[in-house]
Amino acid sequence: MADSGASQPKPSSSVKLVLLGEAAVGKSSLVMRFVNNDFQENKEPTIGAAFLTQKCNLPTRTIKFEIWDTAGQERFASLAPMYYRNAQAALVVYDITKPSSLTKAQHWVAELQRQASPGIVIALVGNKYDLASPSGGDNAEDADAAPAAEGENPEEEDSADARRVPTKTAKAYADEESLLFFETSAKTGMNVAEVFTAIANAIPETSLKGPRGVGGQTNLNRQEDARVNLTGGRAEGPKEGCAC
Amino acid sequence: MFNLTNLVQKAQQLIEPTLSIAGPTSSERDRRPSKATLFRHQFRLPESQSPLQEITAELTLSPHHTTRGTPGDVTSPEKERGQGNHYVGKLHLSEQYLCFSTQGSSFLNSASLSSSSSFTGQTHGAGPAGNGFTLPLCAIRRVERLHSQSYMFALAITTWNGLADSKSKNAVPSGQKLTVQLAGSRIQCERFCDGLKKGLREGVREVENLRAVVMQCYSEYLLSEDGDDKSHGDGGKKTREHPDTGLGMVFKYPGNARKLRDATKIRLWREYLRENGRSATLIRQPTFHKLIRVGLPNRLRGEIWELTSGAFFLRLQNPKLYTETLAKYSGRESLAIDEIEKDLNRSLPEYPGFQSEEGIGRLRRVLTAYSWTNADVGYCQAMNIVVAALLMYVRPWLTLILSNTSRYQSETQAFFLLSILCDRLLPGYYSTTMYGTLLDQRVFESLVEKTMPILWDHLVKYDVQLSVVSLPWFLSLYINSMPLIFAFRVLDVFFLEGPKVLFQIGLAILRINGEELLDATDDGTFISVLKSYFARLDESAHPKSENPKLRAVTRFQELMVVAFKEFAGITQNTISEQRAKHKDLVLANIESFAKRTSIRNLGPESKRLSVNDLSFLYDRFFATVYAREQRALIMQQEADRKAKAGKAKATEIVTGFAGSSVEQGRVGLGPSDTQMDYDGFREFLAGIAKWAVTDSPSPPPESNGTQSPHSYFGGSTRTRPPMSQWGSGPEPADHDFMKRLFRRWDTDMTDALTLQNVVTGFAQVKGTKDIMSNISYFFELYDDDGDGRVDREGILRISEALLFLSRRGLGDTASPSPSLTDLHAGSPERGNRDEQFLSSVSAFIRRCFEYADPDHPSNQGNRDVDEVKDDLDNFAIGADDEDDLIDFGSEPNTPVANSPSQSKHHTKTPLSPVTSTTNPLTPTQSNSSDKDRHLKAKEANLALDPNKPLHITLPTFRMVILADEILEQFFEIGFSASFKLADAPLPSSASSSSNLTTFSNAGKQVAANAAVGMAGVVGGAGAGVVPPGKGLRGMLDNIVSDGMRVAAEVRRRMDEAQKEMDREAKSGQGRERDEDDEEEERGEVGAKDADLLEGAETADVDTRSGSTPDLLGAPQEGTEVKTTRNRSASDASRRVLEFER
Ligand SMILES: Nc1nc2c(ncn2[C@@H]2O[C@H](COP(=O)(O)OP(=O)(O)O)[C@@H](O)[C@H]2O)c(=O)[nH]1
Ligand SMILES: [Mg+2]
């Protein structure tokens, strides 16, 4: 990664990213936070999927995210293949207060692994972290540095908080499937930029489209080249600044 | 000769409906829409209409000044021929409509009875393009046959134009007149006229209804407003209120009315309507199409949409459906309602009308009502936006004069427009799988590929997926993409010309932006190019042009021109063809996605089954459900056909338009929460387990229980081989065991199984290799109240079930165990094993009774052991023959002899310890005199005495099972192996079906009505039982049925004993009393019978006397039809058929 882009000082490339997950887990809110740094009720009617873009500046390059935020209603799931078909990255979101949403997320992960481009970078994101017990300051750290979640945290379940999906469970699953993993809050903004930065870093150079007009060939070869071995350690790799 | 062709035609009309529902299972040819469907689409008629007659004709519209002539004023056709407009086309007659179109169309049934597209001309049921009319027969006031040359057959039609004006007695309605010359043989013409006459007579009843609906139209207001109509008439007219023409009336219509030249448009329309009729009586001439292309004026928009889309005719047919639906479901909750609620504030929120409670309320009610009337679709995001847009223009009168005054009534227009949209114009767009949306995206892509290959190559090269960009265009009819004023202009044309308009506009958008799009290499750029284009639609298309005229052309006008000129070649036919071409692939994709999703979501229980098994169950489940649905539909059609008195159907509007034109029977098409009822479960099992196939196939199938299939295929033999309720698959058995299994699996107590239920059920049955849990499972099936006990009845039922399950042999199912093969080496032994199973079962019964606990252990009788023994002897003797048969082969019941029973010498002592006297219902037991009198009976009864309750517990049951090797084996593997899923392929042809992994394959299996697959399964199973050529099978069958007979005999005796006991319990006094009772009873029944018969007779008489006068009276009263006055005897003379109110 270090010696990449030697010919071009700071290449810019676009990355197609798709958000998937059960309705109301906060997909649109996450995008809104990422793109506008804002949190508010979604007023835009979404037909199929909403399209947004946001740039992410890494030290070595600029990533332009083309974000497809898929519609919430269950029946729109049939349309999902249209959106993830040629995506390079996916954010699979669940709601930490709703265990069924993790099941759904696991389904999407399986679907992506089976149907999407082989090199797709998948991040599993447990949203609405702000609803978890405020007492667990260490929890926050756990979520932040994803792999650190070793503690049993049994009190997590019985304290008054709304968390229903233990960090450990989701983390274990993410590790098993080699996914990036974060717990976020679109409401407070916690970890939101980090998710996108981590994804930007995880996109293999070879799968990147060049700037406009250059990418033709690269693009066609993208699927073959795009294989990257994502490990748990990779996820918490060097945090590069993201201009968002 | 004539009669014959007529007959053939009739027959074909009757056969036809099934073709349209043939669905994905039938061949390509049959899949094309039926002629009736095309006819309805062409003229936008309700589902209740069918093409009865058609004839080539010339329509003559009188010049303007005569249009409002008095009805009596009949100009001779010769004089008229020179003036006015003439159109040659086809005149069609349906049950309630007279339609004319200049566009080539024919819906006559050709001899081939196929429903191909060729004969329908270019329109392919596109919509009411072309010139002509769609007249409800009730809007026709008078039809006269005109004097003409002998070879001509001309009709003068006077309509109820301006119906609303004719309320006052004196006012002369501004009837509008048109002349139609029929071109055809005399016989054809006569036939057409006869049909017309009949329809007109029926239509008279609807006139008031029509008036009510028409009164709500803006056109009535518009035309009465200009006063010149009958300024000298009565004074009441002036009070006419301005009809409510949508939210726009209150909250402003989008756009600048001045800029839109709304006033000018209104003036033009007033002129057009005055000359060509309004609402129901409107006639389409070239100006009409032009007026629509330039954009409808705000206030008239709703009405014209309603007319051109056909929603008007739906409303006419069922004006109260909307109100009634809301009333019926008021207060009820549903998923759809929740989803609607979430979106109400996200539907065109920038429009002031939807910032008000009034607007939100209307939106909520229309969406909710539709979700109830079409529960399969319910609510889909994007409908909110479409309805919000419609509501700006659509709303009839606030103060309704004739219809009921419910305030809900006001959204009826929008409701029917939505219905037309979802059910006809955008088929499958909003369904639970949205297959229509995906299909049309595929069609759109292929059209782009065809018409703009360079752009297409570019998209492919840069991997830009067009459909993600164009999908919202189609799904929300451009409402969410273009500025509203332009989206509405697209809608204006869309409602008239149909779905092809969406494609034409889409293609034009790409064409116009082609240059810039060729520079775009990613989704982002692609989208932003189009976004900025949409934002500048009102700007000049040629801003730099010298020519001021060209400069004045807006980008939107340019778009319309490109869409309808350059892409004029995109017809409804093109779309239909492309849809047919891509349909299978799109559906297969959806289905494989749905299948993956569904299997992954089956929950942890399902992990106990292999992926192959799950896949197999999935396929099999939906194959069964859909095959059944399809059959039910066909049978329903047949029933309808028989009941086709032609009158009932008009009321069925909801089912009507959701009906035959919509294909059913695929996962990709339908709602995903499919359920299987008990009969479906039986059929499902019959394809999986050979014991679930009936021994005695119908007709008169005893095993069919209450289900009587006779009514289904009563008269169907006429056109094709009779259709069984079970299709061509094997007829399933109906056994208590299957019912129990069904109930057990139906954990949600819905009387139906979901796929989840079935998978969980199988996970329990097949997912465990543990014999103990299998035994418990079986026991629990029979422990009805869950108290850990199974009573005498239950024991008998269990043994029946064991016999039932084994009656086709268990040999092959048990064979996988090597130990078993060792024990009974060689296949010739199989027969023996089956026989042994029988004896095991008989031993099972004995042991169960032997080890059973009495229900009241404290009173356990140590009373008369000898006596009991005697009883038992008697029983045993009585049952001896059967026992011999059962005990054929080895002696499996030796262990019983060693059992710690009180019985000293007899091995057949199933009921030994139970002689309780505690039952209060049997006082006679302690009464020795009674005992003497009925000794004989009691000897038998005691053994089976149902009043001496006993039960076995799970440990006992387990012990009894484990005591018998064969039963043990059965519970260890036999039972679960008797269900053949994917991982245990059946011997012969069935293995092919077990390899199915995608549903599309299974879908094709359904396609053949599951014939091959299911027949294969069964054939294989049957073949596996006994090697062909061996006579064993027949022998075995005998034994099996003998075994069943034993069980039946046991049951019979129990019943008898029960009866005996009842009788005794009833009275301490004895048999004289019994006889009295019986006598009395018999007498009573007789009397009742007589009563009943009498009642029936009077009822009969009543109905007859009630109905007869009605029938006879119909033509005389109620309608003021002056029927067919023949003014002259000659044929060429003038016939008048007048309808006056
Ligand atoms: N407390 C909390 N609520 C959130 C968060 N993210 C989203 N929500 C709320 O969850 C609901 C659904 O959010 P939305 O973004 O529309 O979910 P989507 O259907 O996945 O796009 C909204 O009411 C949001 O306000 C979060 O991080 N914390
Ligand atoms: Mg959303």
Domain co-membership, B343 together with B450: no
User: Is A221 within the bounds of a domain?
Assistant: no
Task: Show which of residues 833-892 on chain B sit within 8 Å of chain A, judged by CB atoms.
Answer: none
Identify whether A226 is part of a domain: no
DSSP 3-state of A3: coil
Tell me the pTM. Answer: 0.70
- Minimal Cβ distance to A75: which of B384, B434, B523: B434
Subunit contact B346:A42, Cβ cutoff 8 A: yes
Name the domain boundary from B173, B192, B213: B213
> A191 lies in a domain?
yes
Cα(A5)–Cα(B267) distance, integer angstroms? 68
Which of A112, A28, A13, A107 shows the shortest CA–CA distance to A61? A13
> What are the C-alpha distances in Å from B7 to residues B2, B10, B56, B111, B861?
9, 5, 21, 12, 80
* Within-domain flag for A232: no
- Looking at residue B178, the DSSP 8-state letter turns out to be E
Would you give the DSSP letter of residue B662? S
- pLDDT score for A188: 95
Residues 6 or more apart whose CB falls under 8 angstroms from that of B944 comprise B875, B911, B1050, B1053, B1054, B1057
- b/e per residue A25-63 (b: at least 16 CB within 10 A): bbbbbbbbbbbeeebeebeebbbbbbbbbbebbbebbbb
**Structural domain of B811:** 768-1140
- Quote the CA–CA distance of B706 and B687 in Å, as a whole number: 22
Residue A228 lies in a domain: no
Task: Give the number of residues written for chain B.
Answer: 1141
Ligand nearest to the CA of A97: 1
| CATH number of the domain encompassing residue B480 | 1.10.472.80
Q: For residue B897, give the amino acid letter.
A: A
Interchain contact B355–A (C-beta under 8 A): no
Q: Would you say residue A85 lies in a domain?
A: yes
Q: Prior bond to B699 cis, omega within 30?
A: yes
For an interface test with B, the pick among A19, A52, A78, A219 (most B C-beta atoms closer than 10 Å) comes out as A78
- Sheet harboring B950-953: ordered strands across? B789-791, B950-953, B853-854
Residue B669 Cα to ligand 2 middle (Å): 25
Total count of domains within chain B = 4
Q: Chain A contact for B350, CB < 8 A?
A: no
The number of beta carbons lying within 10 Å of the beta carbon of residue B753 is 26
Which residue has its alpha carbon closest to ligand 1 atom 23? Answer: A41
Q: Name the domain count of chain A.
A: 1
Same domain flag for B935 and B1044: yes
Q: Give distance in angstroms: CA of A39 to centre of ligand 2.
A: 13
Task: Kindly report the protein residue whose alpha carbon is nearest to atom 28 of ligand 1.
Answer: A128
Q: Domain containing B416 — which CATH number?
A: 1.10.8.270
Q: Which atom of ligand 1 is nearest to the CA of A41?
A: 25
Query: Which residue from B minimizes the CA distance to A214?
Result: B521
| Mean of all residue pLDDT scores within chain B | 70
Q: Do B857 and B828 sit in the same domain of this protein?
A: yes
Write the DSSP assignment of A33-93 as a string of letters: HHHHS------SPPSSEEEEEEEEE-SS-EEEEEEEEE--SGGGGGGHHHHHTT-SEEEEE
Test the A interface: residue of B522, B528, B666, B673 with most A CBs within 10 Å:
B522
Assess whether the C-beta atom of A28 lies below 6 angstroms from ligand 1.
yes
Specify the DSSP class assigned to residue B320.
Answer: T
Backbone angles phi, psi at B678, to 5 degrees: -60, -45
pLDDT of residue A93: 97
Element (H, E) at A126: strand A121-127
| Residue B846 belongs to a domain | yes
Beta-carbon separation of A45 and B347 below 8 A: yes
Which residue from A44, A48, A77 is facing B597, i.e. has the nearest CB? Answer: A77
Residues 6+ apart with CB under 8 A from B1007: B24, B25, B26
- The answer to whether the CB of A127 is under 6 A from ligand 1 is yes
Q: Are residues B381 and B473 in the same domain?
A: no
Q: Give B381's contacts in chain A (Cβ within 8 Å).
A: 45-47, 71-73, 76
**Predicted pLDDT at B64:** 58
A79, A114, A120, best to mutate vs chain B, most B CBs in 10 Å: A79
pLDDT, tens digit, for every residue of B753-787? 988 888 888 888 887 777 888 888 888 888 877 78
Q: Is residue A42 lining ligand 1, measured as CB closer than 6 Å?
A: yes
**Which of B390, B425, B460 lies at the terminal end of a domain, its last residue?**
B425
Q: Mark whether B401 and B444 lie in a shared domain.
A: no
Measured distance CA(B29)–CA(B15) in Å, rounded? 15
SS3 assignment, position B239 = helix
**Residues B200, B91 share a domain:** yes
A72 lines ligand 1 (CB under 6 A): yes
Which CATH number does the domain housing residue A22 bear?
3.40.50.300
Alpha carbons B780 and B787: distance in angstroms, whole number: 9
> Does ligand 1 come within 6 angstroms of the Cβ of A23?
yes
Pocket test for ligand 1, best of A18, A22, A28, A29 (most atoms within 8 A of CB): A29
> What is the C-alpha separation between B740 and B737, in angstroms, rounded?
5
**Residues B101, B121: Cα–Cα separation, whole Å:** 12
Q: Return the pLDDT at B1120.
A: 38
B891 and B779 in a common domain: yes
Residues B610, B167: Cα–Cα separation, whole Å: 74
Q: Answer whether B85's CB lies under 8 Å from B206's CB.
A: no
Give DSSP secondary structure letters for B62-120.
Answer: --GGGTT--TT----HHHHHTSSEEEEEEEEE-SSEEEEESS----PPPTT----SGGG
pLDDT digits (tens, 9 = 90+) for A133-190: 765 444 444 444 444 344 444 444 445 678 999 999 999 999 999 999 999 999 999 9
Using CB atoms, pick whichever of A47, A114, A222 lies closest to residue B382: A47
- Enclosing domain of residue A191: 11-207
Is residue B296 a part of any domain in this protein?
A: no
From the list B128, B93, B129, B109, the residue with the least C-alpha distance to B20 is B109
Residues 374-393 of B with CB under 8 A from A: 380-382, 384-385
Domain presence at residue B719: no
| Ligand 1 contact via A162 beta carbon (within 6 Å) | no
Q: Whose CA is nearest to atom 26 of ligand 1?
A: A128
- A144 within some domain: yes
B889 and B1015 both lie in a single domain: yes
B112 & B166 share domain: yes
Of B551, B569, B587, the residue that ends a domain is: B569
- CB-CB under 8 Å, B381 with A76: yes
Q: Is B328 in the same domain as B183?
A: no
Residues in chain B with pLDDT values less than 70? 1-33, 63-83, 104-129, 148-151, 162-175, 225-242, 395-410, 643-665, 670-673, 698-724, 809-834, 855-948, 983-1058, 1060-1141
Q: Is the CB of A24 under 6 A from ligand 1?
A: yes
Closest residue on chain A to B525 (Cα) = A212
Kind and range of the H or E element at B44? none
Distance A95 CA to ligand 1 centre (A): 9
* Residue B768 to residue A118: CA distance in whole angstroms: 36
Which among B433, B461, B522 has the least Cβ separation from residue A78? B433
B510: in domain: yes
A187 in ligand 1 pocket by Cβ < 6 Å?
A: yes
In a domain, A153, yes or no: yes
Residues of chain A with pLDDT under 70: 1-9, 42, 44-45, 134-160, 207-244
CATH number for the domain harbouring residue B148? 2.30.29.30
Of B434, B476, B519, which has the smallest distance from its Cβ to A76's Cβ?
Answer: B434
Q: If you search the block for the tokens 């005996």, which residue do you land on?
A: B1060
Q: How far apart (Å, rounded) are the C-alpha atoms in residues B537 and B120?
A: 37
Substitution target from A17, A28, A41, A47 for chain B, most B beta carbons within 10 A: A47
Task: Please state, in angstroms and rounded to a whole number, the distance separating the CA atoms of residues B533 and B536.
Answer: 5
Q: How far is B276 from chain A (nearest CA, A)?
A: 40
Please report the pLDDT score of residue A12 as a whole number. 83
pLDDT tens-digit readout, B793-816 = 888 888 888 888 877 766 444 444
CA angle in degrees (0–180, nearest 5) for B818-B824-B825: 75
- What is d(CA B96, CA B84) in angstroms, rounded to the nearest whole number? 27
Q: Give distance in angstroms: CA of A72 to centre of ligand 2.
A: 5
Q: Tokens 């494609």, residue?
A: B503
Residues B374 and B448 reside in one and the same domain: no
Q: Do B601 and A215 count as a contact with CB atoms less than 8 A apart?
A: no
Is B925 inside a domain boundary?
yes
> B798 and B918 share a domain?
yes
Choose the closest CB to A219 out of B345, B432, B463.
B463
CA-wise closest residue to B224 among B168, B286, B262: B168
